[in-house]
Amino acid sequence: MKDYIEKRGKLMAEAKAALDGSDLALAKEKREAIEALDAEKEKYDREAAGLNALMAMEAKAPLRVEDKSVAAPELTAAAPAAKMDVSAKEREVEAFKAFLIGQPYDAAALRKAPDVSNSANQASSNAVIIPETVRDSIWKEMGERHPILNAVRMTFVKGDITIIKESSSGDEAAWYDEGTKVVDGTFGFATLELNGYELAKTVPITWMLKKMSMDAFMPYVISLIAEKMGNALAKAVVEGKGKAGDSGSWKSQPQGIAVALEAETSTPQIVTYSASDDIDYDKFCDVMAKIKSGYYSGCAIYAKNTIIWTKLATIKDSDGRPYFVTDPTSGGVGRIFGLTVYEEDAVSDDEILVGNVSAGYVANCNETVSLYQEDHVTDRYTDYMGYAIIDGKVITTKAFVLIKKSS
CATH number at residue 348: 3.30.2320.10
Average pLDDT in the 218-239 region?
Answer: 91
pLDDT at 329: 80
How many folded domains does the chain comprise?
A: 2
Q: What is the Rg, in whole angstroms, of the alpha carbon atoms belonging to the chain?
A: 25
Q: Are strands 300-303 and 339-343 parallel, antiparallel or unpaired?
A: parallel
Q: Final residue of a domain: which of 59, 84, 101?
A: 59
Residue 205 lies in a domain: no
Question: What SS3 class is residue 280?
Answer: coil
Residue 84 lies in a domain: no
Choose between 133 and 82: higher pLDDT: 133
Residue 25 lies in a domain: yes
- Residue 12: is it exposed, middle or buried by C-beta count within 10 angstroms (0-12/13-18/19+)? middle
Residue 28 lies in a domain: yes
The enclosing H or E element of 386 equals strand 381-394
Q: Final residue of a domain: which of 25, 42, 59?
A: 59
State the Cα torsion 10-16-18-24 to the nearest 10°: 120
- Among the listed ranges 10-14, 74-78, 273-277, 402-406, which one has the minimum average pLDDT value? 74-78
pLDDT at 241: 92
Residue 279 lies in a domain: yes
Residue 65: which pLDDT band, with cuts at 50, 70 and 90? very low
Choose between 322 and 123: higher pLDDT: 322
Q: What range does the domain containing 319 cover?
A: 257-361+395-405
Residue 353 lies in a domain: yes
Which among 32, 6, 31, 3 is positioned nearest to 17, based on CA atoms?
A: 31
Residue 197 lies in a domain: no
Are 303 and 341 within 8 A, CB to CB?
yes
| Eight-state DSSP code of residue 115 | P
d(CA 154, CA 137): 16
Q: Which backbone phi and psi does 254 adopt, to 5 degrees? A: -60, 155
Q: Where are the beta strands (DSSP E) in 207-252?
A: none
Residue 120: which pLDDT band, with cuts at 50, 70 and 90? very low
Q: What percent of the chain has pLDDT over 70?
A: 79
Q: Give the N- to C-terminal CA distance of the chain in Å, as an integer.
A: 45
Question: What SS3 class is residue 51?
Answer: helix
Q: Final residue of a domain: which of 59, 77, 102?
A: 59
pTM over 0.85: no
Q: Give the pLDDT confidence of 165-221 residue by residue, as tens digits.
A: 665 555 667 777 777 777 665 555 677 788 888 999 888 888 888 776 667 788 888
Distances (CA, A) of 327 to 58, 333, 334, 339: 46, 6, 4, 11
Are 160 and 191 within 8 A, CB to CB?
no
Residue 34 lies in a domain: yes
- Residue 69: is it exposed, middle or buried by C-beta count within 10 angstroms (0-12/13-18/19+)? middle
| Eight-state DSSP code of residue 347 | S
